[in-house]
Each structure stands twice: as C-alpha cells, then as structure tokens.
Structure 1
Amino acid sequence: MLTTADILKKVRELEIKSKKLTTDLFTGEYHSAFKGRGMSFKEVREYAPGDDIRFIDWNVSARFGHPFSKVFEEERELTVMLLIDVSGSSLFGTVNNRKRDMATEIAAVLAFSAVNNGDKVGAILYSNKVEKYIPPRKGKQHALFLVRQLLSIQSEGKGTYLSPALKLFQNTTRQRSIAFILSDFIDANYSESLRVSANKHDVVGIKLYDKMDRFLPKVGLLKVEDAETGEQKWVDTNNDLVRHEYEREFFRITDYCNEVFKKSAASLLHIRTDEDYVKVLQHFFISRNK
C-alpha cells in the first residue's frame, strides 16, 4: 500500500509526464478529435463576399442600411468521464506495468488533455460495484485530485462488473459527453448498458491486457489464484492442451469485447502493458480527424 508521501510523489511524476505529453503530442489531436456540442452565436459583422446568405441578420442590416452577417463558433466545452476498472484483475502485470498502473497513467494523460482544453473531467472507479464517483469539474487541481484518488483507492470489490458504472454515467450525465472505459473487460454482461450509453455519448473503450493474459509460461506445475474470486488450483503449465485452452479463453474474451463494441458503434483500443500507449492514443486521435 502506498504511503501519502509515495502518492504525492507519484502524482507529481504523472503530472510532469502528462503535461509534457499533452503539450508535445496531444493538444491539437485531442482538440480536433472531439467536437463540441454545436455552434453558438459569437457576434455580428459586416457582410463580406462569400458569407452564407442564410446567416444575414436582417434586423441589423435594415438598421444600418447595408448587410450584416451573424458569426458562429463551435461550443468547445466538453465533459470527459473516465470509467476505470479497479477490480482484482487490474492488479495483474508481469512486464513493466500492472494494468492498474497503466490505466492510472493513461487516465492522467486524458485528464490533463481535457483540462488543458478547458473541458470538464470526472471519473467513476468500479469493480463489481461503483467504488467511487468523482463529479466532472474543470481545472488542474481537480485533475490532480482525480489522479490522487486513483492512486490511493483500496477497492472493496474484487470482481469486474461494468454495467453499474455505465448506468451511473448515464444517470448523472445529461448532455452528450465522452466516456473512456479503461479495463481488461473480463466481465461478460455489459452489452446492453454499453449500447444505451454509446447511443447518447461518445464511448471509447481501452482494453488493457498483459502478455501473460494470453500466454501461459512453461514452468511445470504451478499453483494459481483467481484475482477476482480467490479460487486456487494447480495447473500443469507444460501441458499443451492446458496452454491451448488458456490462450483460447483469452481470445474468447477479446472477441466478445470486439463484438459488443462494434454492435454499439463505440470505439475500442487494445493496449498491452509493455506497449507504448502514447502511440496508440495519438494514432486514434489522428484517425478520428480524417
């Protein structure tokens, strides 16, 4: 368990790294990738050749005796919600990072990208229930608070159940918003909740996985424990059939996740704990602008 000093140190490290990434890489991409709520009236100016005649302000034009046009601008303020899996399986990791560590770092980058663009950011931390709800607000201090909460949370639940988190998101977020879901998506009963959320909001899933989620190492007889149920069993990792079934279960979960997100018309990214998530996010932001 991290001490208060450890948490503050880690928050500072994430702040520095996120600030550099958002400044060097994500500022333009993030801004362009996520559009505002619509167009709002900005001002009236004298008509210029090429202006859309539909936007002529006839009242002002009549008053001054020559045409004036209404000028509109995009409403940029957005609400970004981070739905972050803090279940038992999020603590698994064998190379570089645990899933929770990577989720925290990605969440920090997304939070600072949002506040740097003047957007609100909030979070829902969940296991098999909602562990913590952080209402969306603006500002750097709020982003730091969010990251601090993510670093210090000790979840009560061990399992993964996304639906309650999605339902809370739907019930507390009235206007169209962006939701990033960071999870390994081991849960298998979230299709309807995701469909309802994605119908109203811009939903982006980020599926985090470890190399050993797919490949079981050959180390002989091994006692393993399910991080979410606590069930223990002995596994012969040298057995080809055992290794094949293990990998097949990984692809079953992955295929289900891909299918659910595709049917919901939501975006889904796959990031392994030893991969460069920066490149994956940047490519995603750029691809949305095409």
Structure 2
Amino acid sequence: MIFEFVTMENEVAAVSLPTLIGLSRNVARLRFSHHGRHAVQGGAYLSAFKGRGMEFAETRPYTAGDDIRNLDWRVTARTGKTHTKLFQEERERPVFIAVDARRSMFFATRGCFKSVLASQMAALIAWSVMQHGDRIGGQIFSERSSLELKPEHGRRAVLHFLRKLTELQPAADDSSEERGLPEALTRLHRHVRPGSLVFLLSDFRGYSRACETALLRLRRHSDVVLLKLYDPLESTLPDQGRYDFSFGRRRFSLHATQRAADAYTRRFQENVEMLSALSRSRHMRFGTCSTQQDPLPVLMQIAGVSSQSFR
C-alpha cells in the first residue's frame, strides 16, 4: 500500500486568510444557555471559563492582616516602610492562543496538515474572544523562532493574528541549535500576564518532564487549555506489512510488524493519558482533535456546551 503524504501544493497544506475570516460565521452562531452552570456571565465566550484576573490598583502602607504575598518589596525598599499592593478585578480578561508551528505540525496523511488544523482552531477561538469584548494575544513558535503578540481589542487585532497564521512555514532542517517545546512554554509563561486564559495548540511532540514543569508554572497564575492535534497515522499504524510513503520527492518504506504497531499505539496513548492526567490534577482543560475532525465540536466539548446551543 502507498501513502501519499499531503504536500504544500495541496490546499489542505496551507490556510488562506479568507478561510480564517470565514470561520467568524461559525462563531456568530454560538449561543450559550442562560440557565444552569453554563450561564453567560459578562464576556464568557467559552462558558467553562468565567473567571477574571486581578489587575494592580495601588500601593499603600502595610496593615495587620494583609497578605504577605502581596507585599510591594520595591516600594518597601525605597521608603523603608512596609507597603502592600492592592488589586481590583479586571473588567475583561486577556486570552492567549499559543500555536505550535514546529516541523512536525506540517504533516498529514488524512484531512489537513496539523498546522492548518491549529490555525482553524486558533481562528475560531480568536473570533469568539473578539465577539465577547476580550483582548486577544498570541504566540506562534517553531524550532527557530517565537513570535509573541500582546493582547489587544477588536477585529484589527484578530486579523493581525490570522495573517501571521497564514504565513506559517516549516523551519529549515539545518539548525544545530533548535528550540524545543520546553523553551517555547517558558517564553509563553514570561509573555502571559497573571489571570489570563491560555490555549495551547500543539501535537506535543517531544513532551517531557521539562514541559510539564513549564506548564505547571504557567498554570499557577492562569487558566490553561491543552489541545493535542494529531494525524490518524500517529495514533495507530496500519495492519502489519510493508508500506511505501512519499513526501514530495522523498520516498521511504516501513515494515510494520504487529509488535511494532502495538508499541507505537501504546506510546501515543501514554502521551494522551499523561496530558489528560496532568490536566485533571491541575484543573486544566484537555482535548484532542485529529486532522480529519471538524474543530468546532471539539471546542464545544472543551467549553462544556451542547451542540444544540450552536444552532
């Protein structure tokens, strides 16, 4: 059997700006129930995330009973008297969408590239954020670079983010000093302000303890949603036998034994279970989406919204 990998000449290998803009029509149909635990409360575009962060208001002299975690050490050192930071609830919440653009994301045997799927999901989230009046920020990272976009309001901010997504290209395979997933997550943590809602769209290739540590650091001050994107071939190898693969002009063969196929499937499942367990233990949201799936129902499930709410 011959598998023809999707190549950059096919429309499913790259996404256009009109396509991402068109996804705003899907978000316009989002209607949340006004009863029960999914009731809309002031800007909750994904109803599972109704919280707001806290923003700095002022500094005043310390009084008995103040939380020592909020001490303003800079003012204390300058004045010689202990001061406390005061915070107030934010009227809106920054939302960050981190998109994995490493080489492994430019791959598919079915459906579209994982990078295209990530762009579609990011666009749906971004339009929803705009619709409900919150600020949208982002990060697009690869082995060679990381682009951070500060949170801003409105359609202009969304379009700027979407244009960057349409420019995604796999990094050249010629660097001896490539950045891994832990480095990208560390940069994300530095970029995200406390109280934000963070979506991470990735295939989590190369996930490690260092990645877990970085995610836990991010989770301390922000709500986090992990979305694992994958191609069906990455979850389950075909039946045992010989398979020929092509990627553009490159050709190679795979001899799949049952033992190898079972081990391959186990590794994928272990990765999913590890991310799922981490999410449960730290109250993060976690979901998976294959390159053959429609991303909108996956986001609906993550939000805890029934399909009837979208009709």
After TM superposition, the score normalised by the length of structure 2 is 0.69
Structure 1 residues 220, 286: CA separation in 2 closer, same or farther (over 3 Å shift)? closer
1:267 is matched with 285
Secondary structure of 2:228's aligned partner: strand
Alignment of 1:174-189 (within 5 A): 174-189=193-208
2:25 is matched with 20
Aligned length: 246
Aligned-CA RMSD value: 3.3
Secondary structure of 1:32's aligned partner: coil
Shift of 1:13: 2.1
**Runs (4+) of structure 1 moved beyond 4 Å?**
26-29, 157-160, 223-226
After TM superposition, the score normalised by the length of structure 1 is 0.73
Contact 1:121 1:143 (8 Å CA) reproduced? yes
Residue identity (%)? 27
- Distance across 2 between alignment mates of 1:162 and 1:282: 27
1:161 is matched with 180
Alignment of 1:108-257 (within 5 A): 108-128=123-143, 130-156=145-171, 161-189=180-208, 190-218=211-239, 220-222=241-243, 234-237=253-256, 239-257=257-275
Contact 1:14 1:105 (8 Å CA) reproduced? yes
Secondary structure of 2:45's aligned partner: helix
Contact 1:195 1:263 (8 Å CA) reproduced? no
**In proportion to residue count, which structure has more helix?**
1
2:106 is matched with 91
Shift of 1:271: 1.3
- Distance across 1 between alignment mates of 2:253 and 2:145: 32
Gaps of at least 5 residues in structure 1 are: 41-73, 227-231
- Distance across 2 between alignment mates of 1:32 and 1:220: 47
Q: Relative contact order: is structure 1 or structure 2 higher (C-alpha 8 Å, sep ≥ 6)?
A: 2
2:93 is matched with 78
Q: Which amino acid aligns with 2:121?
A: I
Shift of 1:164: 2.1
Contact 2:227 2:289 (8 Å CA) reproduced? yes
- Distance across 1 between alignment mates of 2:171 and 2:106: 14
Gaps of at least 5 residues in structure 2 are: 1-7, 33-39, 56-88, 307-311
Shift of 1:140: 0.7
Secondary structure of 2:283's aligned partner: coil
Structure 1 residues 130, 287: CA separation in 2 closer, same or farther (over 3 Å shift)? farther
Shift of 1:161: 2.8
Structure 1 residues 275, 146: CA separation in 2 closer, same or farther (over 3 Å shift)? same
Q: Which amino acid aligns with 1:121?
A: I
Secondary structure of 2:16's aligned partner: helix
